[in-house]
Chain A
Amino acid sequence: MVVEISCEEVWREISKYLDGEISDEMRARMEEHFKGCKHCTAVLDGTRNVVQLVGDARAFELPAGFSNRLYLKLNRRLGKDR
């Protein structure tokens, strides 16, 4: 018997699921849940896309001096808020 799992539990475990860091039992429960839950399947696909995007260095090729400008801008903003 594959034991049910709630959407909330799926969301908590989704990152570990993608990283392959969950037990076989939990994987089976989540896969059974995805079959019937469009919402969680959408969350899974979205999370998978984000993980791939973040892991792809080409997508985040930043212009020269970006880090420095961002740092200065954040410092200015934080200074204003204080």
Chain B
Amino acid sequence: MSPVYEINVAKSKFRDAYNEGDLDGLLAVFADECTDMSAGAPSFFGADSKSVLRSRMTRLFEEFSATLIVTVIAIRVFANTAFDYGWHSLTLTPRDGGKPITTRQRYFETWQRNSKEEWKIDFYIDNVDVAPMMPGADLPIPLAFCPPDTQTQRDQKLARAM
């Protein structure tokens, strides 16, 4: 089995674990020490990441049923290290019967092959996808470099500092 296929299999397990609300299955795809830079959440590093991920996903699966569609754009392998990037389209349906929410993130993650020859995610980062647009319709500066939530956070920091 080629490393690219093995990573595709691991990514499929990640997707299936999400869709089945299988917390242990989901965590099994991650390395014991990893870096999590998910959009809208604080960054976590090392062993903390997995326990934070466990608690965050426990709440998520308790409150919502999830449908994750993964679109992998490319996978690159360099010996025991690899990365892939693509999109995650996640629909969360509240278990109490509320309206479903869908978000589409663009992600990048790195993989490490451990001593058991298993590929595990050891770095994850994503941000909110933006619909395609013509080059002439580029976002105005500074919006493209400093999205509103970042601006708000910076303004709050500035206000506190003043």
Contact = CB atoms under 8 A, between A and B. Distances in A.
Our verdict on whether A and B bind, yes or no, reads yes
Interface in B23-70: 69-70
B4 interface: yes
A54 to B, nearest CB: 28
Interface string A44-57: 00000000000000
B12 A9 contact: no
A35 B4 CA distance: 21
A6 interface: yes
A49 B87 CA distance: 27
Interface size class on chain A is 10 to 19
B84 interface: yes
B11 A4 contact: yes
A7 B74 contact: yes
B16 interface: yes
Interface residues of B, number: 20
A6 B84 contact: yes
B5 A3 contact: yes
B72 A7 contact: yes
Nearest to A1: B12
Contact of B16 (A1, A7, A35): A1
A24 to B, nearest CB: 16
A6 B89 CA distance: 15
B71 interface: yes
Contacts of B5: 3
Contacts of A2: 12
A5 interface: yes
B16 A6 contact: no
B7 to A, nearest CB: 9
Given A3-B9, A5-B72, 18 more contacts: A1-B12, A1-B16, A2-B12, A3-B5, A4-B11, A4-B15, A6-B73, A6-B84, A7-B72, A7-B74, A8-B75, A9-B4, A35-B69, A36-B69, A36-B71, A36-B87, A36-B89, A37-B71
Interface of B: 4-5, 8-9, 11-13, 15-16, 69-75, 84, 86-87, 89
